[in-house]
Amino acid sequence: MPADANANGDIFGGWIVSQMDLGGAVLARGIAHSRVTTVAIDSMSFISPVNVGDIVTCYARLLHIGNTSMKIDVEVWAQRWSDAAQLRVTEGKITYVAIDSAGKPHPVRR
């Protein structure tokens, strides 16, 4: 939406990162079978701008499970409204930690 864009009509990177965090957390939560919290954005690459009107999709895949943590790779793809072309626009690796109802880390069941 225009409120999420800069003067050039490009969506703010922070908005994209927020969507990536939400998408990665869905996968992490399913793996942990509990709440999760984001503890690190290990890497982030903005490859191409996202324009107002693009359809944005986040794809997440598990890279690694530690004792209490999960490293998730999240790719963002945009479908251009003008010609329906799809392109990868952002990629990042995010680490989540499984937490219990008190907010304390717990082991991820494998």
* Long-range contacts formed by 26-33: CB under 8 A, 24+ apart: 26/60, 27/60, 27/61, 27/62, 27/72, 28/70, 28/72, 28/96, 28/98, 31/62, 31/65, 31/70, 31/108, 32/70, 32/96, 32/98, 32/108, 32/109, 33/109
Residue 6 in any domain: the answer is yes
Backbone φ and ψ of 40, nearest 5°: -160, 145
Domain at 88, CATH number: 3.10.129.10
Structural domain count, the chain: 1
Domain that holds residue 16: 2-99
Residue 109 in any domain: the answer is no
Q: What's the pLDDT tens digit per position in 74-90? A: 999 999 988 888 999 99
pTM listed for this prediction: 0.91
Residue 110 in any domain: the answer is no
Residue 18 in any domain: the answer is yes
Q: What's the pLDDT tens digit per position in 32-80? A: 999 999 999 999 999 999 999 899 999 999 999 999 999 999 999 999 9
